[in-house]
Structure 1
Amino acid sequence: MKVLCVAEKNSIAKAVSNILSGGQLRVNNSTYKYVKNYEFTFNGFPFANNGSCEVTMTSVAGHLTSIDFDGARYGWGKCNPAELFDAGVVNSKSKDQEQIAQNIRNEARDKDYLIIWTDCDREGEYIGWEIYEEARKSNSRLNDHTLYRAVFSHLERNHVLQAARNPNKLDKRAVQAVGTRMELDLRTGVSFTRLLTDTMAKKVQNAMGITQRQGSKNERLVISYGPCQFPTLGFVVDRFERIRNFKKEEFWNIQLTIRGEDQGDPTGITTVFQWERGHLFDRLAVLTFYEMCLELAGNKAKVVNVKSKATNKWRPLPLTTVELQKNCSRYLKMNAKQSLAAAEKLYQKGFISYPRTETDTFPQAMDLKSLVEKQAQSDGSAWSSYARDLLDESNPNRTNKYRFPRSGSHDDKAHPPIHPVIALGANANIDASERRVYEYVVRHFLACCSEDARGHTTTISLNWNNEIFNASGLVILERNWLDVYPWMKWENSKVMPKLDMNQEVTIFKAEMKSGFTSPPKPMTESELIMLMDANGIGTDATIAEHIEKIKARNYIKSDKVGKESYLNPTVLGVALVRGFETIGLEDSFSKPFQRREMEDDLKKICDGSLTKDVVIHDIIDKYKGYYHRTTQNKGALLQVYDRVKNSLS
């Protein structure tokens, strides 16, 4: 019995082949120089009834085909862009893709079974379908009954063997969902990109001082549209305009200060109490409160509440892709593209689990303690002693000990949260970025498996002529997970004075103070990732791509201020958002509502409540209306660009 296995990348094919073959394999070249064919025998496939199979394992390099329009009929300048909403689409292959496809066809000719080993997400299902379609071209015996897909999330030996022994079937609904997204993105993206470029490119080029040589396509400015790019841009522009339009306002409040020595407290602690009303923007009103309190209560106040309670700083939830990108940006100053690329390499090398996951809940049956043990045995790492202490049961008085992680509310049923698989040796073949991301993954995982930090808070309330003033203090009793997670700060605050209920206290100082409101800070990439995730813009795997795309299109730029980098829109970025607002399409273009609706529809395709044809027909009908309105208002887009350029220059 002969079996063809196909992975999404050559590195995965190589790792899986070494595990299934026990290292006894032959390596042959393929028709594409970066893909190898690995041959070996394996007797664990369930359809072989414990018999030995001759296996060839190979790979693709991402998608095997692309969808596009017929260039001869629908190329740029050869048709009205509006025709692209209904134009036929064709599958095409680049030269490299054709070489990889030829290898699939060659290797599939004499095979009895095909097993897909692509990444276990929607995109992986679609790539698996592309592989299946290509294999059938040379072997009609391959069908739904002989097609399987391995389900795996990392490259640990036992896990890979389990995946080989228990393969599933391809999820054809997920294939349809990805096909829907690809077709919608093609039709809407190309049509509006051509419309915007034809309308605005010449004016923008002149404004930017860009000249294009006659017949030179490479220097042509492209003003692209993408259904994820524009809402992403919208978030950055919205923050920019809130800052630019901000007008500071003066406010007033009241503060009380008491000294412990005035109350007979030998510690002599000085404590500031804040007004429960916060701050008010009416100076006369605050002054009235202040003078009435002074006149009727003088320098005396009464303790009306003393509350002491235990408080916890919860350990983090298990790590998702979005959280990884957000925190690497925030803590490690790595952008989303860099952190995800480093995580991908660590996965391919077998150090961490699959890094593209929405799941923040570990399966109860998963043996996480063994993963902690591997880190405890990693001599020389900065966290090995912490991992050993976590598992040490010989000291009954220790406060921190291993606990199964808490569960979040997301489970994509495809992959567990990101976690380390094996310990990192001192001589591991990884670069500096990969090492930093690996350390973050390990520390986050160990923090998940620890006890919550524990502290004690005390809150005291004073009544000064019926106006309430509060002060709080925190004392940390057990740091626990904070000891392995240096990026999270939770520190002792002011020590509170020893006061009793109904005690009269002497006010050392009562002040009426003023201040000014401050504008929001510019957008950080970490904040942008959170906004995109919360609003369904892109997937955990594509968020980084969308941010990089609008940078490459010169819609936003990154400005470094001190140690922090902020994202700000360019003139073109602001003009695009404002232009679509002017013609009444802000909810469809620069706001997340349209894309979120599409993502909801894709989920419904996956659960069988909608079909590809229905979703495409519904969304394309809407975009035809958007296109008509835009063509009727081209002049408005140009006028807005001029206004923005003049106002920001």
Structure 2
Amino acid sequence: MVSTMVQKVLCVAEKSSVAKAVAGHLSGGRFTTRNTTNKYIKNYDFEYRFSQWNSCQVTMTAVQGHTEELDFTDRFRKWSDCDPFELFDAPVNKTIDKSKQSIADNIQREARGATILFIWTDCDREGEYIGTEVRSFARRGNASIQIRRAQFSNIERTHIIRAANNPKDLDERQALAVAARMELDLRIGAALTRFQSLRLQGRYGLTPDALISYGSCQFPTLGFVVDRYMRVKNFVPETFWYLKLVHTRDDITTTFNWDRSRLFDRMTVVLLFESCLASPGALVKSVTRKPARKYKPLPLTTVELQKQGSRFLGMNSQRVMKAAEALYTSGFISYPRTETDQYDQNIDLKALIVKQKDDTGGWGWGAYAGNLLNGEFEQPRRGKHNDKAHPPIHPVAYAAGSALSDGDQRKVYEFVVRHFLACCSKDALGETTTVSLEYGDEGFHASGLTVIERNYLEVYPWDRWESSQLLPQYREGERFVPTEVTMQDGKTTAPGFLTEPELIALMDANGIGTDATMAEHIDKIQVREYVFSVPKNSRGSAGAAAAGRGSGRGRGRGRGAKATTGSTRGGGNSGGNNVFVPSNLGVALVEAYDLIASDMSLSKPFLRKEMELNMKKICNGELSKEHVIHQSLEQYREVYMKVSQRIETFRQVCSRYIQS
């Protein structure tokens, strides 16, 4: 709309830091600041000429995430006033969080003199829903206010200017998907939290007011940990036998591996071994040389950032995401919540590399970035995922060492930059040599690798690809007498307890949570003492030690449940050197649900995965919010009824584990 009249535009961001950054970019740093009745929220006033609205008076302000909360009406809030089963259908309403009433009032007040509400919440599903909250507050002050939303993935200046001049509409379907998820989480979480708490309180060493909290994402996450723990606990090692051939030539000793790898029948291996010893020598069947390639990493997604942060940086996923969020709001990296592992063809990757080439902060990648700009650049690989909202995580500005005083932020920033530069590099190249032998009637082989061009490995130290010892010269058709041939034995070993990268990978593959919430779910099962994080080097005793720690009280706050003091025991320390093991209570709950409702157990990912898929269908317009809520509630209601009908079995299973 074009008008000669100066309009007022009210801009609202999801975080105070983003509001200040956007105000700074749009105003060129020339804005005035007004306090609000909330000490964390400021109003920034300035003038800006929008391409679509001409010169406008602008007020930039913010919310603090969600302002409203969903809860049951008063009749159903007290545990003693209703059967938990009623919560599947009990009426709910939205109210403004009392601590955030001043935020809603500020938006309502500022909207009165505004023509346009320009929403700057994060561009993800949750941000769309928060945008609808902001819209409702603004319309209370001005029912006719126009609504637009900014589409952005980082707060670098040129990106913000582009977003300001290309407004979009709120995505109503994404907001509906969040509304559906919130209602389901409230109803299912409250019903099952109250059910299992009331049935177990005061029993088997649990306190009379024990809170046994349930969450439809947390329980499948717990289920993965318990499943691996039981596999380790029940593992029975088996003995196997194998043959090994060793040959020394030109002062190089080469070990040839048996083509059969190993067999579990000792007598069969003895006969094959004797057959080999009766042979006059080994025959070189082939010598093959093939080019080898180690692929550079795919563009960085949130899930990969969390996995690699735990694996390489020694940080748990929550610390990684906290650091990434801080880097984003400071303008150093793009939006850190994305499923996309392919860059848009229009993005100027070289312009981003230019910002890293001077490297005045001494990170150590300046010369490498310069080489990329001087002919070594290669387009990044294209993955299979694109959320159509955000690009892969990448640096948008250079951060001198003095700009990042926080150790976690320094680690994450270095990883993001090095990962990005590696994505813009060439694959590492090498050559493998494989020598295949026939000794008796048995086949053996040995391989060696020569790295020819390291390429991306020069800037990405977390990937290892090293030249192995060179093989001696062998010719096809030649014979030689082995230096040594032996029959050896070994035992199969149990799998390790779950690491955080493994757990994140399982959650991702099974649709448990989103890239934005996985870290939160992993933290919650620790806070609730269903799971402990213990050092990896205690493999053999970790399960027994952790599963025997207390009862695992399941502390925390369930939706619609009584609040208790949260415990962070183990919750903040899991990282690359830790593994997860369940508490007695964690094992008890999983085993009880698996026994009673094995076809749709709450510890399995299937129900939650289907729910998440249905959320996407709401976003795509394939299903309605009401249909998804009804379908999911019917499924969980059925599980509830099964368990309540066999409550004594439920208690017996729990007592067996909790009291052990």
Aligned to 1:246: 235
Aligned to 2:626: 613
Aligned to 2:572: none
- Aligned-partner Cα distance in 2 for 1:482–1:201: 56
Aligned to 2:223: 234
- Deviating beyond 4 angstroms after TM superposition, the runs of 4 or more aligned structure 1 residues are none
Aligned to 1:88: 91
Q: Which residues in structure 2 correspond to 1:476-515 (within 5 Å)?
A: 476-515=451-490
Aligned to 1:357: 338
With 420-429 and 535-544 compared, the bigger mean Cα shift is at 420-429
> CA contact under 8 A between 1:118 and 1:128: conserved in structure 2?
yes
Aligned to 1:279: 262
Aligned to 1:451: 426
Percent pairwise identity:
49
Q: Which residues in structure 2 correspond to 1:517-556 (within 5 Å)?
A: 517-556=492-531
Q: 1:476-512: CA deviations, max 9, x gaps? A: 1111111111111111112112111111122111111
- Aligned-partner Cα distance in 2 for 1:567–1:73: 36
> CA contact under 8 A between 2:597 and 2:643: conserved in structure 1?
no
What letter is aligned with 2:363? Answer: S
Confirm whether residue 597 of structure 1 aligns to residue 586 of structure 2: no
What letter is aligned with 1:582? Answer: L
Q: 1:398-453: CA deviations, max 9, x gaps? A: xxx11121111100010000111111123215411111111111111111111111
Aligned to 1:216: none
Confirm whether residue 632 of structure 1 aligns to residue 653 of structure 2: no
For these two proteins, the number of residue pairs brought into alignment is 615
Aligned to 1:410: 385
- Aligned-partner Cα distance in 2 for 1:598–1:452: 39
> CA contact under 8 A between 2:35 and 2:43: conserved in structure 1?
yes
> CA contact under 8 A between 2:404 and 2:410: conserved in structure 1?
no
Q: 1:258-288: CA deviations, max 9, x gaps? A: 222xxxxxx3322111111110110011111
Q: 1:185-219: CA deviations, max 9, x gaps? A: 11111000000100113225x25xx5x6xxxxxxx
> CA contact under 8 A between 1:235 and 1:528: conserved in structure 2?
yes
Other structure's SS at 1:460 match: strand
Confirm whether residue 78 of structure 1 aligns to residue 117 of structure 2: no
- Aligned-partner Cα distance in 1 for 2:404–2:68: 32
Deviation at 1:594, TM superposition (A): 0.9
- Aligned-partner Cα distance in 2 for 1:4–1:585: 53
> CA contact under 8 A between 1:580 and 1:586: conserved in structure 2?
no
Aligned to 2:328: 347
Q: 1:590-612: CA deviations, max 9, x gaps? A: 11111111111111111111111
Confirm whether residue 642 of structure 1 aligns to residue 644 of structure 2: no
- Aligned-partner Cα distance in 2 for 1:285–1:12: 70
- Aligned-partner Cα distance in 2 for 1:447–1:429: 22
Aligned to 2:157: 157
Deviation at 1:122, TM superposition (A): 0.3
Other structure's SS at 2:623 match: coil
Pick aligned residue for 1:319 from 275, 290, 300: 300
With 230-239 and 629-638 compared, the bigger mean Cα shift is at 629-638
Deviation at 1:96, TM superposition (A): 2.0
> CA contact under 8 A between 1:577 and 1:586: conserved in structure 2?
no
Q: What's the TM-score, normalizing by structure 1?
A: 0.93
> CA contact under 8 A between 1:69 and 1:75: conserved in structure 2?
no
Other structure's SS at 2:212 match: coil
Other structure's SS at 1:259 match: strand
What letter is aligned with 1:620? Answer: L
Pick aligned residue for 2:66 from 38, 60, 63: 63
- Aligned-partner Cα distance in 2 for 1:425–1:501: 57
What letter is aligned with 1:223? Answer: I
What letter is aligned with 1:381? Answer: W
- Aligned-partner Cα distance in 2 for 1:604–1:150: 24
- Aligned-partner Cα distance in 1 for 2:10–2:277: 87
What letter is aligned with 1:15? Answer: A
Pick aligned residue for 1:257 from 236, 242, 246: 246
- Aligned-partner Cα distance in 2 for 1:502–1:362: 50
> CA contact under 8 A between 2:425 and 2:455: conserved in structure 1?
yes
User: What residue ranges of structure 2 are gaps of 5+ in the alignment?
Assistant: 1-6, 538-575
Q: What's the TM-score, normalizing by structure 2?
A: 0.91
> CA contact under 8 A between 2:150 and 2:167: conserved in structure 1?
yes
- In structure 2, the CA distance between the partners of 1:45 and 1:187, relative to structure 1 (3 Å rule), is farther
Aligned to 1:100: 103
- Aligned-partner Cα distance in 2 for 1:498–1:427: 54
Other structure's SS at 2:425 match: coil
Q: Which residues in structure 2 correspond to 1:41-440 (within 5 Å)?
A: 41-46=47-52, 48=53, 51-142=54-145, 146-204=146-204, 206-207=205-206, 210=207, 220-260=209-249, 267-295=250-278, 297-298=279-280, 300-379=281-360, 380-393=362-375, 401-440=376-415
- Aligned-partner Cα distance in 1 for 2:245–2:73: 75
Confirm whether residue 570 of structure 1 aligns to residue 604 of structure 2: no
Aligned to 1:217: none
- Aligned-partner Cα distance in 1 for 2:407–2:487: 53
Other structure's SS at 2:247 match: strand
> CA contact under 8 A between 1:254 and 1:511: conserved in structure 2?
yes
Aligned to 2:449: 474
Alpha carbon RMSD of aligned pairs, Å?
Answer: 1.3
Other structure's SS at 2:174 match: helix
> CA contact under 8 A between 1:74 and 1:84: conserved in structure 2?
no
> CA contact under 8 A between 2:248 and 2:254: conserved in structure 1?
yes
Deviation at 1:381, TM superposition (A): 2.2
- Aligned-partner Cα distance in 2 for 1:610–1:505: 70
